Amino acid sequence: MKKKVVSNIVILGLVSLFVDMSTEMVYPLVPLFLTATLGASPAIVGIIEGIAESIASLLKVFSGYIGDVYHNKKRLAIAGYSASVFYKLVLLLAASWPGVLVARIIDRTGKGLRTAPRDALVAQSSDQKKLGGSYGLHKTLDMAGSSLGVILAYLFVATGVGFHRAFTVSIIPALIGIGILFAVREDKAGRAAGEKLRLKGLKLDKQLTRYLAVLFLFCLGNSSNAFLLLKSQALGFTSAQVILLYLAFNVSASALAIPAGKLSDRVGRGRVLVPGYLLYGLVYLGFALIQSRAVTVFLFIAYGAYNALISGAERAFVAENAPEHMRGTVLGLYGMLQGIGLLLASMIAGVLWDTLGSGAPFLLGGALGLVSAVMILLITGRKGSHAENTSL
C-alpha cells in the first residue's frame, strides 16, 4: 500500500513536470507574442487571461463532482492534460489576438478538467497525516517542470528561435506527460459508481466556508502572472531577461514547496498560510512602488516563496476539511473561486494599467493580500470552528 501511495504521487508529479515544462515553454512567450507581434494592449492581455481562466474555473467544480460520482478521476485527468497538445496546435495557427484567446480557452479548459480530479487523486493516495508534504512533493515536481520549460523559453528567445518553432517543440514534453499518466492507479472503492451526490445538500465546515470567502476576496487582486512579466518589461528588462526573472520565480517555488508543505503538517496550516499571504502582499506592493531592477529580481524570488508556502498548505487545508467522499467536488469549488477571482482581477488589472499606470494593479493586489492575511489569521485561529458545519 505504501509503495502504491508513493508511486501514485510521484507519477502524478512527473506528469505535471512534463506537461508544465510544455506549458511554461510557451507561457512567458505568449504576452510577448501578443504585444510585440500581434500588437495587443495590456488590457487585451487581461481580457484573454480572464476569459480563459473563468472557463477553467467553472469546469473545476463539475469535473471534481463527476470524478467523485463516477470514480473516473484518471480519465478526466487524461482528457484535461491532452488539451495541452491541442492548445499548442491552435496557437500555431493564431494570426491575431482572438486566435490566441481561442488557444488559451482550450488550454484552460483542459486545466479545468484535470485539476480537481488530480488533486483528489493526490489526497486519495496520501497518508492523511502527511497531506501537506504530499501536495508539496507534487508542487515541487510541477515547478521543476515549469523551471525547465522557462529555461527552454529563454534559450528560444536568446538564440532567436521564432515563436512558432517554440510552440511546435513544446508539444513533445506534453505528449510524454500524457503517456506517463496511464500508469496512475485510481482507488474506486467507496460509493457505487453513478450513485448520486447532491451539491445542494453539501455541508461544509464553517471554517472552510469562511476561508473560501476570504480566498475569493484575495483573488480579486491576484491577476495573471502575465502582468508581472509586462511590468518587468516596462522597467527595462529585455524579453530574455524577463524570462530569466520568471525562471527565478519557478526555481524558488520548486525548491521550497516540499519544506513548506511538510512544515504545515507539523505546525498547522494557518501558521504557514498567514505568512504566505503576508509575503504576497509585500511582494505586490514592492512591484507597485519600487523601480529598482535589482530589487525586482528579489521580488520574483520572494513571489516563488509565497507560491510554495500557499500551494501545499492550502490544498491540504481544503482537502482535509472537505467531506471525504466529496473531496474532488470541494477542491473543484476551491479552484472555481480562484478562477472567477482571476477573471475579474485580470480584467481590473488591465483597465487599471491602461488608465492609472502599471503600478495600480499591484497596489490593489498588495492591499488585498495584507487584508486576507489578517482575516485568515482570525479564521484559522478560531478554536473549535473545525466542528461547525454550514450547508451550501
Please give the pLDDT value at position 200: 53
For residues 120 and 327, the answer to whether their CB atoms sit within 8 Å is yes
Cell numbers for 57, please give them.
474555473
Cell numbers for 171, please give them.
508539444
Does residue 329 register a pLDDT over 80? yes
> For the segment 134-159, what is each residue's pLDDT rounded down to a tens digit?
899 999 999 899 999 989 988 988 88
Q: Which helix (H) or strand (E) holds 290?
A: none
Does residue 386 register a pLDDT over 60? no
> For the segment 288-306, what is each residue's pLDDT rounded down to a tens digit?
998 899 999 999 999 999 9
Q: For residue 194, what pLDDT band results from cuts at 50, 70 and 90?
A: very low
Read off the pLDDT of each residue in 274-294 and give the average, rounded to a whole number: 95
- Which CATH superfamily, name and number, covers 2-391? MFS general substrate transporter like domains (1.20.1250.20)
> For the segment 6-23, what is each residue's pLDDT rounded down to a tens digit?
588 899 999 999 999 999
Does residue 275 register a pLDDT over 90? yes
Please give the pLDDT value at position 7: 80
Does residue 2 register a pLDDT over 50? no
Does residue 382 register a pLDDT over 90? no
Q: In terms of DSSP H, where are the helices of the chain?
A: 2-26, 29-32, 42-70, 73-93, 97-125, 131-158, 163-169, 171-181, 206-219, 226-234, 239-267, 270-289, 293-321, 327-356, 360-380
Please give the pLDDT value at position 196: 52
* Distance from C-alpha of 166 to C-alpha of 351, rounded to nearest angstrom: 30
Please give the pLDDT value at position 193: 46
> pLDDT higher for 217 or 30?
217
Domains in the chain: boundaries: 2-391
> For the segment 49-98, what is each residue's pLDDT rounded down to a tens digit?
777 777 777 787 888 888 888 888 899 999 999 999 999 999 999 989 99
* Distance from C-alpha of 80 to C-alpha of 77, rounded to nearest angstrom: 5
Sequence-ordered list of residues with C-beta below 8 angstroms from that of 184, at least 6 positions apart, any chain: 8, 11, 12, 15, 74, 77, 121
Q: What is the mean pLDDT of the chain?
A: 86
For residues 361 and 353, the answer to whether their CB atoms sit within 8 Å is yes
Please give the pLDDT value at position 202: 62
Please give the pLDDT value at position 390: 43
* Distance from C-alpha of 312 to C-alpha of 316, rounded to nearest angstrom: 6
Please give the pLDDT value at position 385: 38
